[in-house]
Structure 1
């Protein structure tokens, strides 16, 4: 086995995804092992890890598997090294721009949720007696 390949366990450790989750993403076609060992073990590269990290970052933001697939397809096409027709390149970049805007909206939503949670925590904290005045 070449040093450039990693078994699925190492990929799981690096991405903080479970083996089951990685296999699910393989089953849905979001990621494909770059190779298999003679014994049939899945072998992954740094590019596979990077792809899984994109998926891992999209999932908690509520992106669907189809949306993940669309983004990965667009980035794969742009990164293919092929000379793309200007219309196709523009379309792919517009897709990525749309995803970037969706992520920015979700970031703002999360900031709002965090601010509300912090306000609630502060409200609850204010209701508790301080440790200096508590006799129990």
Structure 2
């Protein structure tokens, strides 16, 4: 598929996808005869991983590191027991960091919802237009 379809499916801008390509996070699987970038379902799945990591505060380097680890784990290359365990440890570290960040975001969301509710209550008490 071309970059426009990928952008629509991933809800990422063309500019963002191109940036991820420039930084080496995702590489189009092929190019058309006209030179257009062509992406596969695997490329889309990779972009979705990146999209999910971004709001959790992961850096591009961390994204690259996780993708490298998962690529190696999912690849056809035979891995030694030590290599596999090392890669799994890396993924576990990212899973732990993601879980911790999600919890922080839940706390922030609860505080924001509480604040919005407090403002709504104040308006109900003091603004005849909202009653």
User: For residues 124 and 41 of structure 1, do their structure 2 counterparts lie closer, same or farther at Cα, with a shift above 3 Å needed?
Assistant: same
Which of 33, 37, 42 is equivalent to 1:38?
33
Which of 11, 16, 25 is equivalent to 2:11?
16
Moved over 4 A (4+): none
User: Secondary structure of 2:124's match?
Assistant: coil
Q: Which whole-Å deviations, capped at 9, do the CAs of 1:81-128 have from their partners, x for residues lacking one?
A: 222000000000000000000000001001100110111111111111
Q: Which whole-Å deviations, capped at 9, do the CAs of 1:18-63 have from their partners, x for residues lacking one?
A: 1111000000000000000011000000000000000001111110
Which of 85, 89, 92 is equivalent to 1:94?
89
Alignment of 1:33-72 (within 5 A): 33-72=28-67
RMSD of equivalent CA atoms: 1.6
Paired with 2:77 and 2:114, the residues of 1 have a C-alpha distance of 51
Which of 18, 27, 49 is equivalent to 2:22?
27
Which of 94, 106, 111 is equivalent to 2:106?
111
